[in-house]
Amino acid sequence: MALYEDAKLALSLMDLTSLNENDDEQAIASLINSIDPTLGVPAAVCVFPKFIALAKHLLAERRLEHVRVATVTNFADGKQPLKTVLAQTELALDAGADEIDLVLPYQQLIAGDPDTPWQYVNSSKALCKGKAKLKVIIESGVLETEALITQACDVAILAGADFIKTSTGKVPINATLDATKTILNCIKRSEKAVSFKAAGGVKTVAQAGDYLRLTEQIMGSDWLTAEHFRFGASSLLTDIHETITAARK
């Protein structure tokens, strides 16, 4: 029964994601159609900026307007010029994005320059304020060390991030429990209203349960809501649906 409860909870916390280079309108339609309201509804769908309007339309057709639409900027390597990133952000907001997942220019941080990452987050936050949540992807698997992950979190939080997100899902190491522990402790120490998203590598309900337990342990059970915690995932949905369906038989 615990697995069933974790499956239901994880689904409600999920950013159902499709960020593949070959994504087209059919792929986005398939993503939206994979939502089965009889089993539960995700918190958001996450798509490339050019598919925001389509995702909004398809969700509305299915009377799922309450599902947020998230998109990505400075994706995936975090190396785009700030001017380009801000232009992407403005277009995404105009298209109706509810959440912006910004890749921190983490290479700059590794090189000893925290000011550039701060500027990217702070400038993006200025555009998003009152319009959309800003989720900052720190790419924790590349940062590797606890010190760098902590610094990335501190910079993002100081610059106005609404969420800290582990990963793009496009590098060898994505979300890990160790990185999650470091990030959650940073958020807790900051005493700011900052949330968390584990992205990439969470493929089963059992794995999701480990993240839920860790989060509850550090932040408390009140944190297990879509306002505070998200999973960025695609393949996780299959295991969630199978788990819920099996438990109901």
Q: Which of 6, 15, 98, 101 is an active site residue?
A: 101
pLDDT of residue 144: 86
Q: Phi first, then psi: give them for residue 224, nearest 5 degrees.
A: -85, 60
Q: What are the Cα distances from residue 16, in Å, to 32, 34, 138?
A: 9, 9, 19
Q: What is the DSSP letter of 104?
A: P
Q: Is the pLDDT of residue 66 over 90?
A: yes
CA distance 109 to 125: 19
Are 16 and 219 in contact by the 8 Å Cβ rule? The answer is no
pLDDT above 70: residue 11: yes
Distance CA 106, CA 154 (A): 13
How far is 95 from 52, CA to CA, in rounded Å?
6
Domain residues of the chain, as ranges? 2-248
Give the pLDDT score at 216.
98
Q: Coil, strand or helix: which one is 98? A: coil
CB atoms within 10 A of CB 10: 28
Q: Please report which confidence band the pLDDT of residue 1 belongs to, taking 50, 70 and 90 as the band edges.
A: low
Pairing assessment for the beta strands 44-46 and 68-73 based on DSSP bridges? parallel
Q: Which of 125, 133, 135, 197 is catalytic?
A: 197
Q: Has 197 been annotated as catalytic? A: yes
Locate tokens 């991030």: which residue?
A: 161
First to last CA, the chain: 12
How far is it, in rounded angstroms, from Cα 143 to Cα 151? 10
Q: What one-letter code names the amino acid at 159?
A: A
Average pLDDT over residues 232-239: 94
- 2-248 is classed CATH 3.40.190.290: no
Considering 15, 133, 165, 239, which one is annotated as catalytic?
165
Give the dihedral of Cα atoms 214, 184, 128, 15; nearest 10 deg.
-20
Answer yes or no: 188 catalytic.
Answer: no
The residue count for the chain: 249
- pLDDT, tens digit, 9 for 90 and up, residues 160-184: 999 999 999 999 999 999 999 999 9
Report whether pLDDT(249) > 90: no
DSSP string, 109-120: HHTT--HHHHHH
pLDDT at 239 over 80: yes
Task: Give strand ranges (E) for the chain.
Answer: 14-17, 44-46, 68-73, 99-103, 133-137, 163-165, 195-199, 229-233
Q: What pLDDT, on the 0 to 100 scale, is given for residue 22? A: 97
pLDDT in tens, 134-154: 999 999 999 989 999 999 999
**Mean local confidence (pLDDT), 192-215:** 97
pLDDT, tens only, 91-103: 999 999 999 999 9
Active site residue 94: no
Beta carbons of 137 and 165 less than 8 angstroms apart: yes
pTM, whole model, 2 decimals?
A: 0.97
